[in-house]
Structure 1
Amino acid sequence: MIEPSMRKEFETWVETARPPLAEQPALGLAALMTTAAFVDPVAQVPIFDAIAAATAASNNGAARATQIAAALPWVTEGKPRIALPRALWDDYWAIVAEPPSPAAGELDLTLAVVALGSRYDQRMIDACEAALLEFDSVHELIAQPEVRLTTADLESHAADSLAHDLLSMLTANGYDIEVIDADTVVLPGDYPAQNRTNRRILQLHDIWHLVAGYGFTPAGEVAISGFQMAQFGQNYSTRFLATVATKAAVHAPAMMDMLLTVMFDGWRHGRATKELIAVPWHQRIADPIERVRAELGIRPLDSAAVRMMEALTPAAA
């Protein structure tokens, strides 16, 4: 449990973009990720690049802090405070208060993190739109006609096809091609980047699991969130990773480094892979996964940290 006084400090770190990275290595990194999610989404790529490089280079909190400060000079003095909606913080802390548990449903956490978006104010919504538009592939996607796959589109394909593999996975797990109703994630107003990518990723999430080599496990979900965020700047992924990092820092600090490695292995993989959000996936579902990988230049994830985390959570895997 995180005490009210520490919550208040954490909120200050986030809202001023001044986390105590050396003094509070775990919570400080979680706060910096939360700044990327809620305060400055446009800065999420340099923030995550800096954390990825620092955590890969050293296990020492002070050394990490020094490296991050060199990449992001503003973390030393901070920025003018931007107050976040009180309701957002209250819902955030309600999620963080629940200890991580293999028995907890992944969908429950997903829906809780999705719901945080309902607490965003106008500044935050506008910032998320701007963050998405930093990616060329998002502009390409907006310019395309929208095509939404259905379960019927996956039927009657060859046994070695992406469609067959996807349908088999969905059927075996009782999943739907869209985790939640895509029409419920549409924002009112002129937000083409958010509305289009929010609907799009609901259809592509499981496809990317298969094609990019992410297991359908808690570790796989954490890692693919890093991949998705790196691919097109999805704010859901940023706030999911920030929330998971904060939960770990509060409840399981000994696991923090492994969790960060899982996150940032996915992040680096996403940064190294061509942007995939605008690929016409409906034209690829009849192809074998290996052909899709070869033609798009996708190398499946190879992460020792993901394998270790999966080994430590056999009940969830």
Structure 2
Amino acid sequence: MITHELGRHGLTVSAIGLGCMGMSQDYGPADDEESVRVIQCAADLGVTLIDTSMSYGAGHNEELVGRAVADRRDDVVLATKFGIWRENRGDPPSLDARPERIRGFCEDSLKRLRTDHIDLYYLHRVDPTVPVEDSVGAMAELVAEGKVRYLGLSESSTDELKRAANTAPISAVQYEWSLFWRELEDDTLPLARDLGIGVVGFSPLGRGYLTGRLKLDELGEDDDRRPDQRFHGEHLAANDNGLAQLKRMAAERDITPGQLALAWLLAQGDDVVAIPGTRDRTRLAENVAAADVSLSTADLAHLEAVVPRSAWSGDRFSYAVPRTSRR
């Protein structure tokens, strides 16, 4: 597994990580025992970055990850998040990034993860009722105490990112990024690079769509992809045309469309990391193998020509979080 450096402060991780959210919420029922095996298999394959959050399954996901890596903590880089919380599994999410709450959130995550430190601690969403400087300042205190090693933000605005970076060293920012969704390339990516912050792309397979195997008519009622505009009507028709082009190019190279999509993202820079999620060891091995796919300048230009940003249609479902509920 190749490694990429996130930020300028010494955080090095596998270029392909593992996103664990779907093991606990949003993508239908999952098998905990198999999820543990997938996480352990990821470590066996050289995946070091394991991504979770206190909100995923109201702590269930952190417990799952902690259980999976308990005997091999030094083999992995644990990334978790706070700021979105759920009182109970299945509850709707709420925002809370008040400084006085952050230490408790962190200590609860440490217990669930069965560790004495978090390698990468993200502010999952900026709380609009709290200046980002206050939240990040409290996070920096956790670094000083050794509970956290590196700091990150997720889905922040460019202004929030600048203000955060002026408050404490930020190593990583996390956004949805794939051939299917490239909005961050306009302003956020250039800013992150100016600030020396690495970029972690979640949903790098377009929430499964870019694999070519997603069966939209079989999604459960509670599947978080159902309301995504990109999977309906004229948007889906346009996107299916783009997917057909991606499949064709992948077949010419004897790889899967998912591997081509991941290779494209990694080719965007050695400060970029992809965290595809999966609950299947076969799919995990396929994703990991994408790190060995090398795309030339000509390949990237051809890919841009046949599936440009303009080829994809529809707005994403962005996991909007209510701002009213507090505990």
The two structures have a TM-score, normalised by structure 1, of: 0.26
More helix by share: 1
More strand by share: 2
